[in-house]
C-alpha cells in the first residue's frame, strides 16, 4: 500500500533535462495497490448488483467539468476509482452475468493485459514488434489447430468480430475481381453487389455492409427453419433470383451459434451452394466457436473447413479480456489485396527475409499486442482446462433447459446446442387466450416485466431477443465464474417473480 | 513474489459445480510479480537495444507448435515471458525510440490499462457500462476543452486514427445525401466520389477510401509547397476540375502535423474552400494535436474549429498506452446515420431517459473502456504536466535542428514546427557532384546506410521517409522518457557513423 502522497510528476533520477514519467518506485507501489484492488474486486464482485441501479445521465455530474491543471496524487485517483468507477459498472465479471454473450476476463488474461500495457508494443510491422508479430503467428496457429481446422487456414487477431467480418467481406468484395480497393464502387456502372445471411445473422454483418459501401440493401436475409437455422434451398433460390435480376452475389455468411438463439446454420450444405456459385463463404462463430475446441462437439461445425474465412472470438467463450477476435482464412493474399498500402515511412529497408506486416491485412494501421494475453491464458488453462470449462457451461445450460421444460408455466423457445437458453413465461392461466391476437402482446409485456423484475434484484442479469416475433428471455452462460448455484438462483428468481406477476393477472 | 507452484485451474472455494478462474490469491501473488516485472522493465529498459538485432522468422521456432493440454504454473509462463518475449520486443518504451511517432505508455496509463482489464467493461451500450459510457462523455469533453475547441464539438474514443478517419469519411459519404449506409454505392449509377488530401497526407486516409468502397482512385492528392503544406489554390482547382468532369467531391482532409515532416496544412484557407463547396472537412492531427493543449501553440491550429471532424491520438503525444484515438465532431448525428443499427437483442427496454449507445457511431460493436486510462492519466499529470512535457520535446527538437543546421556536412530538409526533425547527411566531399543525376541516388544510399548503422548500435532508433524524392532521416521526439542526453547521443552517433562512412567515400 502507498501511504505517503507522492509527486507523480517528479523527474526520475538520471534523466536530467526531461520530466519523464511518474517515479518508477511510485509506479511500483501504485501497481501493487492496483493489483490488490483488482484481486479484491474479483473476489468480492458478488457484493455488487450485476446491473447497477442507476439512471442515465446521473454519473456525468459526479465528475468535474475540466481536468486538473496540476497533477494529483495517485492515491486520490485510486480512491475515486473505488468510489466513482467500480460501483457504477455493469459487472461483466459477476458470475450472475447471464446476458448477451459474456466477456469475462480470466486472471491469466488480466496478467496478459498488464504485461501488454507495460511492454507497449505496436505490431503493425514485423519491425515495430518482432515478438508481437511472430507470437501472433504462433498463437493463431495454435488456435487453428485446437479448433480442428486444417493448415491452409492462416489468420490474424483483430479487435472485434465486427472488424473480423468486415475484413472478410472486404476480401469477398475484392475476390470478385472488380478491385474495389483500387477503383472503388462509384462512377463505374457496377451491378448491385449482394451478400447473403440468415434472418438471424448478427448485426455486425449488416454493419459491415454499411461501412464497405455495399449498404444495408446489399444484405439479403434468408429465412430460417423452426430451429432458426438458414434454409439452404431458399439461399440458392435467392442467389439465382438476384443473378437473374442483374445483381451480383459476392458472399454468403453462415452462422454457427446465432446471437438470439445460438442456432446452427447447415454449413456443409451452404458451402456447397457457395462453391457452386463462386461466392466467398464466411462463417460467423464468434461465440460458439470455442466449443470446437472439444473434438466431440465438432459435429456442429461440419463444413466450416470449407469456408473462405471464419471468425471466433477469444474475448467471448475463451474468457480472454476484451479485445480479441480471431479471423482465420484460407485466402490471406486476398485480404492483403483488400487492405495493403505501404507508404515510404512504413517501408522496412534493413531486412532481407520476407516479413509479415500485419497492418497490410486490416483497416487499421496501429495494433495492440493481443497474442500475449492469449499465449499466457492458453498455457495457464491448457486446452483441457478450457474444454472442461466450456463443457461445464453446456451442462449447466441443459440443466436449466430441463427445468424450463418441466415447468408447465414456462415455455422453451429454441433448441440449446451450446450454453444459451431461450424461453418465456407462458402461464397456464393465459393459455386459453392462445388464439386471441392480443395474446402474444400480453405475453410480450409480461415477459419484459418479468425480466426487468429479475434484473432489478441485482443477483443476475438476463437479456432478451425476439424469436418468431415473440419476446424471448435469454439465459446465456459464458462467464468464467458462473457455477451451478448462479444458474439455480436465476431459475429461483424467475419462478418467484413470475408467480408474483401471475398473481397480479388473476 | 510467488515462491510455490500453484495449480492455476483449481476451483475457488464456494463455487461448487464450476471450475472458475485461477485461484484469487494465486492471481494476487502473480499480479504483484507482474507489477515488479513491469517496474523493473521500465527502470532498466535502456539495457536493451531499441531495435532488437534479430532476423525475421527466427522467433517462431522458439515456441512449441501447439499449446499445452494441461495448464502450466504461472511462474513458468512468466519466466518464459522474461526469456522469450521481453528481449525480442522493439522497445517503444526506450527513451532512444525516435522513430515513426512514439507511443509510450505512461505509468498512470499502465495502471489504467490494468484496471480496465480487471473491471472488464464493454461500453457498447450505456446499459452494458453506465460508467464506461458517461466517463467517455466526461473525458472527451475534458479533451475538447483542453485542446481549445468549442462546445459544439462532441465525440468518442476509438482504437486508432485509422478508425477515426474512416468514421469521419463514412460520415462525409453519408452527408452527401446519397445514403450509402442504406442503399450502398453499387447498382445506382452514382458519380465517382472524390476525397481531397495533400500528397503528404497519411496512408490511413487512403486506406479509409479503400475500405469504404471509394477506392484509392477517389483520393485526389493535392501538391504541397516548399514546406510540404497543401496548396489551397490547387485544392480549389482540383475540386472545380473534378466537378466539371462529372465527379462528386465529398470531403477534404487537412493535416496538422504530417507523418513525414509534421507539415501544417493551411486549415483556415482550406476550411473556406470546403465551406464554399459544401464539403466535409476532416482534420488529421493524430500526432501534433497534443500541442494544442498549449494555448501559445494554437497558431498552428487556427481554423480547425471550423472542421466537421478532427482526430487527435492520445496514444501518441499524450503518452497513453495503445489504443486510444479521439474523434471530435460537430456532427454526431451524421456519424450515427452512417453507423447506427439497433437489433432487438441490443435494445434497452428498462430506461426512460435517452441514452448514448456509443456503438451507434462506430463500425465496431464491442468497445474497450478507454476513457478510464485517460481519466487516470489526465489527473495524474494534470494539464500543466502534459504541457511541460510536450514543450520540452519541442525544445529538444529545436536544439537538435540547430545542431544539424550548424554542421556543414548535414542538411535539414523541412521546418520543425513540433518535435520532429527531417535531415540528411550531405557531406561537402560530395557537394561538387550536385548537378550529377546520380548524385541524389548516392546520397540516398549513403543516408540509408547511415541510418542503419546508427540503428544497429541499439542506442537509438530512427526511421526514414522521402521528401521531394530524397531519402530523409527523421528524428521524432515523443517518448515520455526521452531527455536531452538521448537526443545528444543520437546526434553524436549520427556524426561519428557519418564520419566513418565519409572516410569510405574518399
Residue A430's contacts (CB-CB under 8 Å, 6 or more residues apart) are A439, A442, A443, A446, A505
Residue B480 has its nearest CB partner, among A20, A74, A210, at A20
Q: Is residue A488 very low, low, confident or very high in pLDDT (cuts 50, 70, 90)?
A: very high
Question: What average pLDDT does range A488-497 have in this prediction?
Answer: 98
| Chain B residue numbers touching A385 (CB-CB < 8 A) | 9, 19, 70-71
Element of type H or E holding B467: strand B463-467
Between vectors from CA B424 to CA B418 and to CA B426, what angle results, nearest 5°?
A: 145
Residue B435's contacts (CB-CB under 8 Å, 6 or more residues apart) are none
Q: Measure in Å the smallest separation between the Cα of B79 and chain A Cα atoms.
A: 11
Q: Is B371 helix (H, G, I), strand (E, B) or coil?
A: helix
Contact B186 A213 (CB under 8 A): yes
Residue of B nearest to A6 (CA): B380
Q: How far apart are CA B111 and CA B92, in angstroms?
A: 18
All three cell numbers of B123, joined, read 461500453
Q: How far apart are CA B386 and CA B290, in angstroms?
A: 9
Residue in B480, B505, B489, B487 with CA at minimum distance from that of residue B105: B480
All three cell numbers of B489, joined, read 547521443
| Chain A residue numbers touching B131 (CB-CB < 8 A) | 59, 84-85, 88-89
Q: How far apart are CA A376 and CA A381, in angstroms?
A: 9
Asked if B335 and A291 touch (Cβ cutoff 8 Å), the reply is no
Query: A379-505 in CATH: which number?
Result: 3.90.1150.10
Asked if B451 and B461 touch (Cβ cutoff 8 Å), the reply is no
All three cell numbers of B214, joined, read 471509394
> pTM value?
0.96
Q: How far apart are CA A324 and CA A330, in angstroms?
A: 20
ipTM surpassing 0.85: yes
Asked if B420 and B459 touch (Cβ cutoff 8 Å), the reply is no
Query: A24-91 in CATH: which number?
Result: 1.20.1340.10
Q: Measure in Å the smallest separation between the Cα of B205 and chain A Cα atoms.
A: 10
Residues B301, B305, B309, B315, CA torsion sign: positive
Contact A74 B380 (CB under 8 A): yes
Average pLDDT, chain A: 94
Contact B114 A31 (CB under 8 A): yes
DSSP strand pairing (A219-222 vs A193-198): parallel
Residue B218 has its nearest CB partner, among A30, A60, A184, at A184
Q: Which residues of chain B carry a pLDDT beneath 50?
A: 1-18
A127 conformational bin, left if phi > 0, alpha if psi -120 to 50, beta if neither: alpha
Domain layout of chain A by residue ranges: 24-91, 121-368, 379-505
Residue A56 has its nearest CB partner, among B117, B355, B381, at B355
> What is the reported pLDDT for A348?
82
Q: How far apart are CA B444 and CA B392, in angstroms?
A: 31
| Chain A residue numbers touching B116 (CB-CB < 8 A) | 113
Q: How far apart are CA A445 and CA A127, in angstroms?
A: 58
Q: How far apart are CA B90 and CA B455, in angstroms?
A: 12
Best of A105, A118, A140 to disrupt the B interface by mutation (most B CBs within 10 Å)?
A: A118
| Chain B residue numbers touching A65 (CB-CB < 8 A) | 141-142, 145
Strand ranges inside A358-483, DSSP E = 410-412, 420-425, 463-467, 470-476
Between vectors from CA A435 to CA A434 and to CA A439, what angle results, nearest 5°?
A: 55
Q: How far apart are CA B158 and CA A211, in angstroms?
A: 16
| Chain A residue numbers touching B37 (CB-CB < 8 A) | 115, 118
Q: Measure in Å the smallest separation between the Cα of A436 and chain B Cα atoms.
A: 24
Contact B126 A42 (CB under 8 A): no
Which range (A336-350, A488-502, B318-332) has the least confidence?
Answer: A336-350
> What is the reported pLDDT for B19?
62
Which carries the bigger pLDDT value, residue B199 or residue A19? B199
Q: How far apart are CA B443 and CA B450, in angstroms?
A: 10
Q: How far apart are CA A283 and CA A272, in angstroms?
A: 14
Contact A37 B118 (CB under 8 A): yes
Contact A315 B366 (CB under 8 A): yes
Residue B162 has its nearest CB partner, among A202, A363, A392, at A363
| Chain B residue numbers touching A208 (CB-CB < 8 A) | 363
The residue assigned the cell 474475448 is A315
Q: How far apart are CA A249 and CA A194, in angstroms?
A: 4
DSSP H helix total and E strand total for chain B: 14, 11
Contact B60 A481 (CB under 8 A): no
Q: Is the pLDDT of residue A186 over 60?
A: yes
Q: Is the pLDDT of residue A413 over 50?
A: yes
Best of A127, A325, A366 to disrupt the B interface by mutation (most B CBs within 10 Å)?
A: A366
> What is the reported pLDDT for A18?
43
> What is the reported pLDDT for A242?
98
Q: Measure in Å the smallest separation between the Cα of A123 and chain B Cα atoms.
A: 9
**Other beta carbons within 10 Å of B374:** 27
Q: How far apart are CA B7 and CA B23, in angstroms?
A: 8
> What is the reported pLDDT for A3?
34
Cis peptide before A323 (omega within 30 of 0): yes
Q: How far apart are CA A176 and CA A193, in angstroms?
A: 10
Best of B5, B8, B11, B21 to disrupt the A interface by mutation (most A CBs within 10 Å)?
A: B21
Asked if B198 and B255 touch (Cβ cutoff 8 Å), the reply is yes
Residue B432's contacts (CB-CB under 8 Å, 6 or more residues apart) are none
Contact A217 B184 (CB under 8 A): yes
Q: How far apart are CA A84 and CA A64, in angstroms?
A: 12
Distance of CA A211 to the CA centre of its chain: 19
| Chain B residue numbers touching A86 (CB-CB < 8 A) | 119
Residue of B nearest to A381 (CA): B71
Asked if B2 and B47 touch (Cβ cutoff 8 Å), the reply is no
Asked if B103 and B315 touch (Cβ cutoff 8 Å), the reply is yes
Identify any residues that bridge with A314 across adjacent strands, giving them in sequence order. Answer: none
| Chain A residue numbers touching B32 (CB-CB < 8 A) | 32, 35
Which DSSP string do the residues of A305-346 spell out, in sequence order? GG-SEEEE-TTTTT-PPS--EEEEES-HHHHHHHH----GGG
Q: Is A221 exposed, middle or buried (CB count within 10 Å of its CB: 0-12, 13-18, 19+)? A: middle
Q: How far apart are CA B488 and CA B477, in angstroms?
A: 12
Q: How far apart are CA A367 and CA B90, in angstroms?
A: 14
| Chain B residue numbers touching A481 (CB-CB < 8 A) | 12, 15, 18, 20-21
> What is the reported pLDDT for B506?
66
Cis peptide before B323 (omega within 30 of 0): yes
Burial A174-185 (b: 16+ CB within 10 A, else e): bbbebebbebbb
**Other beta carbons within 10 Å of A191:** 15
| Chain A residue numbers touching B366 (CB-CB < 8 A) | 103, 159-162, 315, 322-323
| Chain B residue numbers touching A163 (CB-CB < 8 A) | 363-364
DSSP H helix total and E strand total for chain A: 14, 11
Residue A213 has its nearest CB partner, among B30, B146, B184, at B184
What's the N-to-C CA distance of chain B in angstroms? 58
Q: Measure in Å the smallest separation between the Cα of B431 and chain A Cα atoms.
A: 26
* A372-404 tens-digit pLDDT: 999 999 999 999 999 999 999 999 999 999 999
Contact A90 B127 (CB under 8 A): yes
- Cα dihedral B18→B21→B24→B27 (10° resolution): 160
Residue of B nearest to A466 (CA): B344
Residue B221's contacts (CB-CB under 8 Å, 6 or more residues apart) are B197, B198, B199, B201
Asked if A105 and B420 touch (Cβ cutoff 8 Å), the reply is no
Q: How far apart are CA B113 and CA A115, in angstroms?
A: 10
Q: Measure in Å the smallest separation between the Cα of B247 and chain A Cα atoms.
A: 8
Asked if B381 and A9 touch (Cβ cutoff 8 Å), the reply is yes
List C-alpha distances in Å: B118 to A37, A89, A320, B21, B115: 9, 12, 11, 13, 5
| Residues above pLDDT 90, as percent of chain A | 89
Q: Measure in Å the smallest separation between the Cα of B266 and chain A Cα atoms.
A: 23
Q: How far apart are CA B361 and CA B334, in angstroms?
A: 9
Contact A193 B206 (CB under 8 A): no
**The domain at B121-368 falls in which architecture?**
3-Layer(aba) Sandwich (3.40)
Q: Measure in Å the smallest separation between the Cα of A260 and chain B Cα atoms.
A: 7
* A422-464 tens-digit pLDDT: 999 999 877 666 667 788 899 999 999 999 999 999 999 999 9
Q: How far apart are CA B367 and CA B125, in angstroms?
A: 9
Amino acid at each position: 500500500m502507498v501511504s505517503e502522497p507522492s509527486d507523480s510528476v517528479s523527474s526520475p533520477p538520471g534523466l536530467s533535462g526531461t520530466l519523464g514519467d511518474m517515479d518508477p518506485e511510485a509506479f511500483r507501489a501504485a501497481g501493487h495497490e492496483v493489483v490488490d484492488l483488482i484481486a479484491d474486486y474479483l473476489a468480492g464482485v458478488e457484493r455488487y448488483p450485476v446491473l447497477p441501479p442507476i439512471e442515465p445521465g446521473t454519473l456525468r455530474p459526479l465528475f468535474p467539468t475540466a481536468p486538473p491543471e496540476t497533477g494529483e496524487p495517485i492515491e486520490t485517483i485510486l480512491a475515486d476509482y473505488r468510489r466513482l468507477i467500480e460501483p457504477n459498472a455493469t459487472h461483466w465479471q459477476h458470475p450472475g452475468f447471464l446476458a448477451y454473450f459474456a466477456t469475462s476476463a480470466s486472471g491469466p488474461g488480466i496478467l496478459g493485459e498488464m504485461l501488454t500495457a507495460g511492454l507497449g508494443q505496436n505490431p503493425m510491422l514485423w519491425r515495430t514488434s518482432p515478438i508481437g508479430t511472430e507470437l501472433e503467428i504462433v498463437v493463431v496457429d495454435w488456435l487453428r489447430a485446437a479448433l480442428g481446422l486444417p493448415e491452409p487456414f492462416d489468420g490474424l487477431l483483430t479487435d472485434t468480430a465486427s472488424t473480423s467480418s468486415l475484413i472478410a467481406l472486404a476480401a469477398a468484395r475484392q475476390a470478385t475481381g472488380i478491385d474495389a480497393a483500387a477503383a472503388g464502387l462509384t462512377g463505374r456502372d457496377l451491378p448491385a453487389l449482394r451478400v447473403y445471411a440468415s434472418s438471424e445473422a448478427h448485426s455486425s454483418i449488416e454493419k459491415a455492409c454499411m461501412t464497405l459501401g455495399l449498404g444495408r440493401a446489399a444484405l439479403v436475409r434468408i429465412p430460417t427453419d423452426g430451429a432458426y437455422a438458414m434454409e439452404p434451398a431458399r439461399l440458392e433460390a435467392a442467389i439465382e433470383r438476384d443473378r437473374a435480376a442483374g445483381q451480383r452475389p459476392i458472399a454468403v455468411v453462415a452462422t454457427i451459434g446465432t446471437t438470439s438463439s445460438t442456432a446452427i446454420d447447415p454449413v456443409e450444405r451452404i458451402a456447397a451452394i457457395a462453391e457452386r456459385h463462386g461466392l466467398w463463404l464466411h462463417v460467423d462463430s464468434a461465440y460458439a466457436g470455442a466449443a470446437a475446441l472439444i473434438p466431440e462437439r465438432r459435429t456442429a461445425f461440419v463444413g466450416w473447413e470449407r469456408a473462405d474465412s471464419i471468425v471466433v472470438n477469444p474475448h467471448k467463450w475463451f474468457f480472454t479480456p476484451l479485445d480479441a477476435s480471431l479471423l482465420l482464412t484460407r485466402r490471406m493474399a486476398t485480404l492483403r489485396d483488400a487492405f495493403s498500402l505501404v507508404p515510404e515511412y512504413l517501408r522496412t529497408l534493413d531486412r532481407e527475409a520476407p516479413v509479415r506486416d500485419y497492418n497490410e491485412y486490416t483497416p487499421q494501421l496501429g495494433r495492440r499486442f493481443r497474442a500475449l494475453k492469449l499465449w499466457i491464458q492458453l498455457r495457464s488453462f491448457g486446452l483441457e482446462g478450457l474444454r472442461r470449462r466450456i463443457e461445464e457451461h453446456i451442462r449447466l445450460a441443459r440443466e436449466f433447459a430441463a427445468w424450463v421444460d418441466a415447468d408447465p408455466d414456462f415455455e422453451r423457445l429454441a433448441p440449446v446446442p451450446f450454453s444459451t437458453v431461450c424461453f418465456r413465461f407462458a402461464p397456464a392461466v393465459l393459455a386459453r387466450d392462445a388464439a386471441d391476437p392480443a395474446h402474444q402482446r400480453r405475453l410480450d409485456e409480461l415477459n419484459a416485466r418479468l425480466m426487468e423484475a429479475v434484473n432489478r434484484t441485482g443477483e443476475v442479469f438476463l437479456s432478451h431477443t425476439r424469436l418468431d416475433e415473440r419476446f424471448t428471455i435469454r439465459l446465456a452462460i459464458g462467464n468464467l465464474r458462473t457455477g451451478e448455484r448462479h444458474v439455480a438462483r436465476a431459475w429461483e428468481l424467475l419462478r418467484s417473480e413470475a408467480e408474483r406477476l401471475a398473481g397480479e393477472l388473476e
